[in-house]
Structure 1
């Protein structure tokens, strides 16, 4: 094969449409690399496949452990946790809630720490920490100990999900992002399936070394997480400009694709506090928090209480553990289909609305007085609707924030504040409401309604802003009134930036 030819990207006034020549600025360390190569479509696909194979398997494995470790308490509840720790009233729900409070508060600082401490050290490091905490959770003997360990688990896990989404947004162009977030997040739905299978198998260890089966659920899954954290130290890389598994030319191409992805002049990269303040002031961050909560409340509600909900249908504990598996497998398949077509069509909102519709169907069935077979059928819609639409919710805001630090802070706010819906969901499926859980299913439908209101508002706002910017640019003869530096500073408010719908 002929070696590729290389040339600097054209930054002439005629192509970029600015009043002055666009100066070449360092972006992601590209000034230390050769010019980006011209790649054919097949060569570019092979390059992204190479990146995928290095990043996604380990990140997916880490998140599988994360979701397994925060959600396995639902399986432990059925395996004797409540009885041995003498939990009464809403103490179990309070223990669930205490995970989310530090988890939400620590996410924004954790995202700022990611770049300072390097992803290849920060992400594996926090994995080791929460794996150790999860192992120790198997040794708790009292309710206060359980609450304390859940708080520590929330602090340790806080940096993973927003950190990985931000990390992926640095590597991939915005219309390749949801597929990668979808693959990564599929670990969450797979964790639900694995959790049921593992709990079923681990229950046979009841009494081993004087510990009940619920203790072994925590201990064995915690040890697995520690092992994954050690592996991540050896596999995970930092940013494209330092990725040794790529050639210098490949690194240059990855950075170049990202540099001109959101803007014709690249993104502002140097840290300044005004980018943090810009994220706090951006209307779309707060609107997207409502959209996020409309999905994440059903997601955590169903993942934390699915074993209890299915147990309320009248099945034995071993059968209940096994029946939690099929809905998660179905959700994983739907999630990957949504992610693929969302990136292919470069659209996010239609798939979020589709997921909300599935949630509406699922929770409407389960709040009704229908046979248990019908209710179990509705559970599939609840699990698939929440899990399949979640990557699109995250990718949508990530696509529409320009500037590395603004995007990092905005996404951390989005996820951090939005996850307080998980704290709410931890308290709505109360023991005294079993087996129908009318209050829980009703409040989940309320969150779905919030999604059906806030998502169309975002669509309408984005359409109007895009149309206005297009009209203004055409009125100026296609020439921007801002300099290249001003355009970089404007980020997603620049006249050439178009919001993803």
Structure 2
């Protein structure tokens, strides 16, 4: 066992404070630190399968625990978040539209109400996470949105749905940017894209499961006085609530304040040391100088723009594929099941993007992002033409999944770019998600109007330009980040001299 670990064990038995342990850890011999955490481990073919295989035994055990708990909870939480976000689309095309007489743009307005709540909550929530334990804040919000979901089953008017969708969005605003911030507080560069993308695939799984669930519960139509679409909301809460409650017990917070019961004192010290070597800053106070520095940097402007282009490069939250199938005369089961193939492609492409970014491209995030932009241009230009063979139209609706798998990469990139300042990292990642949904609050009302389904003459052509913008901004961010790294290296050399 490395001497640094043994020393920490001895000290923990004597009751030395965590602050004292951290200070002593900072002045350890560099050779010992390298034994504990290999900053640049020698890569073998095994790292192309999973990054932990070439790390030290201590680090492998630590990552196994962290992945088993943090990554599992994050993925399950995002699964239920998306399940409770997307269910209104499945309910809408499965009887809710007819039962409540929703023949205008009400689906657009439901999406907008959710988005407004989501937008209002994101930045305040991430700022709260830098001051309050995430293990309190995030699970509490999960419980709120889970309970509100079952209330949707009793709605008898569209206005009630609007109000509930707003508060569901407000509660859900904590989860994605919050968990991305926490994931970015535990994992190193060669680990981050995989974990961020595995986490993100849960949204596609939630979308898929919502479709399968609606197809299944539709057969409960009329049972105990509830319609099939009402049963969807009820069962969603039954699934979501236990996962939300589990968060109070398994969320590890961030390394500097963690009290996770499944991590030893040595593993917590190891986690802190890993982040030190990665240059990932601990929590600090908000000062006037810090705020000025954040808002004078390109990070706070271009990284959100990158995410705006990604997040609004899809179909605006509209069940486009399902509505086309419905217009073609397909039944309830078909219109809920066939679109899940798109979600399967999202999952597969997301994992491919993550693994190639961490291994083949040696941590570069921009190549998969550029590929996603190219795929968006091809798919949406074909659908904009519309008068294409039906087989190609089917393919385009499915291949649209190639454009949805880069969210984790953009957040991984942001964590790396903003590593030196914890508060900037929290603010930038929250702003990325918030500004993306600011646009999503109004853009679908303009280009994805329900009354224009399934042709959407404005929607597809707009997405072609969004895909082009995504490619351009990716190259600009890459250039500025490389320039920033070069300047930091020059400053470091001048200090040494």
Verify: 1:30 aligned to 2:22, yes or no.
yes
- Distance in 1 (alpha carbons) for counterparts of 2:81 and 2:242: 13
Verify: 1:351 aligned to 2:368, yes or no.
yes
5 Å-filtered alignment, 1:210-289, equals 210-240=225-255, 241-262=258-279, 267=281, 269-274=283-288, 275-289=290-304
- Distance in 2 (alpha carbons) for counterparts of 1:406 and 1:470: 21
The C-alpha deviation readout for 1:272-315, integer Å capped at 9, x for no partner, is: 23334433332222112221111101346266444224434543
1:126 deviates by: 0.7
Q: Which residue of 2 aligns with 1:373?
A: 391
Q: Does structure 2 conserve the Cα–Cα contact (< 8 Å) formed by 1:63 and 1:185? A: yes
Q: Which residue of 2 aligns with 1:439?
A: 458
- Distance in 1 (alpha carbons) for counterparts of 2:21 and 2:77: 27
Count of paired positions: 456
Paired residue secondary structure (1:298): coil
Verify: 1:318 aligned to 2:333, yes or no.
yes
Verify: 1:145 aligned to 2:160, yes or no.
yes
- Distance in 2 (alpha carbons) for counterparts of 1:259 and 1:8: 20
The C-alpha deviation readout for 1:25-78, integer Å capped at 9, x for no partner, is: x98983497968633724123321221112111110010000111111111111
Query: Which has the larger displacement, 297-306 or 363-372?
Result: 297-306
Query: Which has the larger displacement, 221-230 or 133-142?
Result: 221-230
- CA separation of 1:451/1:185 partners in 2, compared to 1, >3 Å: closer, same or farther? same
Paired residue secondary structure (1:419): helix
- Distance in 2 (alpha carbons) for counterparts of 1:391 and 1:312: 34
- CA separation of 1:130/1:276 partners in 2, compared to 1, >3 Å: closer, same or farther? farther
- Distance in 2 (alpha carbons) for counterparts of 1:280 and 1:355: 29
1:268 deviates by: 5.5
Verify: 1:413 aligned to 2:428, yes or no.
no
Paired residue secondary structure (2:312): helix
The C-alpha deviation readout for 1:351-398, integer Å capped at 9, x for no partner, is: 111111111122122222112221111122212212x11111122112
Q: Does structure 2 conserve the Cα–Cα contact (< 8 Å) formed by 1:332 and 1:384? A: no
Verify: 1:78 aligned to 2:102, yes or no.
no
- Distance in 2 (alpha carbons) for counterparts of 1:125 and 1:254: 26
Q: Which residue of 2 aligns with 1:6?
A: 4
- Distance in 2 (alpha carbons) for counterparts of 1:110 and 1:326: 34
- Distance in 1 (alpha carbons) for counterparts of 2:410 and 2:327: 31
Q: Does structure 2 conserve the Cα–Cα contact (< 8 Å) formed by 1:200 and 1:322? A: yes
Verify: 1:194 aligned to 2:209, yes or no.
yes
Paired residue secondary structure (1:308): helix
- CA separation of 1:466/1:310 partners in 2, compared to 1, >3 Å: closer, same or farther? farther
- CA separation of 1:373/1:430 partners in 2, compared to 1, >3 Å: closer, same or farther? same
Verify: 1:453 aligned to 2:492, yes or no.
no
Q: Which residue of 2 aligns with 1:490?
A: none
Q: Does structure 1 conserve the Cα–Cα contact (< 8 Å) formed by 2:108 and 2:450? A: no
TM-score by length of 2: 0.85
- CA separation of 1:277/1:230 partners in 2, compared to 1, >3 Å: closer, same or farther? same
Q: Which residue of 1 aligns with 2:46?
A: none
1:256 deviates by: 0.6
- Distance in 1 (alpha carbons) for counterparts of 2:230 and 2:21: 48
- Distance in 1 (alpha carbons) for counterparts of 2:5 and 2:336: 58
TM-score by length of 1: 0.85
Paired residue secondary structure (2:284): coil
Q: Which residue of 2 aligns with 1:392?
A: 409
Paired residue secondary structure (1:384): helix
Q: Which residue of 2 aligns with 1:180?
A: 195
- Distance in 2 (alpha carbons) for counterparts of 1:276 and 1:132: 37
1:468 deviates by: 4.0
Q: Which residue of 2 aligns with 1:93?
A: 108
Q: Does structure 2 conserve the Cα–Cα contact (< 8 Å) formed by 1:73 and 1:304? A: no
- Distance in 1 (alpha carbons) for counterparts of 2:6 and 2:305: 42
The C-alpha deviation readout for 1:447-494, integer Å capped at 9, x for no partner, is: 2222122222212222333334445555x3x617xxxxxxxxxxxxxx
- Distance in 1 (alpha carbons) for counterparts of 2:120 and 2:391: 40
1:321 deviates by: 0.9
- Distance in 2 (alpha carbons) for counterparts of 1:312 and 1:375: 14
Structure 2 runs not aligned, ≥5 long: 8-17, 39-54
1:109 deviates by: 0.7
- Distance in 2 (alpha carbons) for counterparts of 1:446 and 1:306: 21
Query: Which has the larger displacement, 371-380 or 399-408?
Result: 371-380
Structure 1 runs not aligned, ≥5 long: 10-25, 481-501
Provide the alpha-carbon RMSD of the alignment.
2.5
Q: Which residue of 2 aligns with 1:45?
A: 60
